Amino acid sequence: MLHREGLILPKSVRHHQPLEPREPLEEVQADFKTITTIPAEPGGKQVNGVECCNFVDAGTSILLSAQVRDDFRAETAFDAVITVMQQYGRPGSFRLDRDPRWIGGQLTRDFPSALLRTLLCLGVEPVICPPKRPDKNPFVERYNRSYKYECILVHRPETLQEAQEVTRAYQQHYNWQRPHQGRSCQDQPPRVAFPILPSMPLLPQEVDPDAWLAHLHGRAYLRHIDTVGNVKVDEQSYYVGRERRGHSVARLFDAPARQFQVWEGHTLLKLLPIKGIVGSPMKLGEFLAMMREQARALEHKAPRHPKVTSRHIQQHSLWGKEGA
């Protein structure tokens, strides 16, 4: 009866299309894989226990890096990404899921996480997958399945050291010996099909630490003025005026001028400098140390299990091509 009355919608049919082929090192996909044979310590700080952070090149299916640790958090995830770029150079983009260690624990923050800002400043595009869509990160997700069933559940490591050893051996096997059915490999091991990877740009010796601002140019933030005349953007307070407390204003991000335009309706109220701007180029080492420290500081403020809402997805859509 429900079907006859049209009250039950038919299941939508998903039409699968092959992905566009990628060039070598055009896009690197990253993901964490929990090593389930090693139980997390009772009362330990890390919910996921021992994990392997895997980096797979979408253009060649080569496993570029497999880093096994028991302390992955925002700071050490940041280190993992930098290690890959120090070894292979800067890829065109990094594709990441919405793990808080990548995009920031507080999804209500207005600006990108330390890692995403670092990528933007280094000229690497971060691509953030929609929530609950592992199919948008397919190459590393498919590797994770092989890693689980062909390595972890076969050797069943029980300690961090054992997990590191079997992972190193499997990386060698996967890249050089195991036939790969992907279109790019054509039943050859990835490293046999692609024995030489292209030379990618190295990390620059000097970095503009404010280059990420250009990616937010034109973005508007709607805010409610509090009782003392302030509004907050990315946890920074900006004074608008006590006479307008209780009003709502829009703050338009003007990246070239390094300022916010504060609008109430069609009236421009103020021009306010954006806080936290460095203002001058930095040496690479100093820049990475600063961003690593910011990743460490922010992770202590992050909720353990943040809830993802449509509003959060909309906020993050500017930081990756597939944010919504």
The full DSSP string for 147-188 is HIIIIIHHH---SHHHHHHHHHHHHHHHHHTS-B-STTTSSB
Domains along the sequence of the chain with CATH: 27-193 (3.30.420.10), 210-273 (no CATH)
Asked if 272 and 262 touch (Cβ cutoff 8 Å), the reply is yes
Cα dist. 6→2, 10, 13, 14, 180 in Å? 6, 9, 18, 21, 46
pLDDT of 5 reads: 83
Check pLDDT > 50 for residue 324.
Answer: no
pLDDT band at 54 (very low <50, low <70, confident <90, very high): very high
* Residue whose structure tokens are 């065109």: 92
| DSSP category for residue 108 | T
**Residues, the chain:** 324
The model's pLDDT over 19-53, given as tens digits with 9 standing for 90+, comes to 788 999 999 999 999 999 998 776 654 556 899 99
C-alpha to C-alpha distance for 229 and 140, rounded to whole angstroms: 48
Nearest by Cα to 267 from 286, 233, 241: 241
Percentage with pLDDT > 90 across the chain: 73
Question: Across residues 296-315, what is the average pLDDT?
Answer: 51
Phi, psi of 183 (to 5 degrees): -60, -40
Read off the pTM: 0.84
Cα dist. 145→54, 98, 213, 309 in Å? 12, 19, 37, 28
Phi, psi of 61 (to 5 degrees): 65, 15
- 294: which 2 tokens? 């910011």
The model's pLDDT over 124-151, given as tens digits with 9 standing for 90+, comes to 999 999 988 998 999 999 999 999 999 9
- 209: which 2 tokens? 């630490």
- 267: which 2 tokens? 């009236």
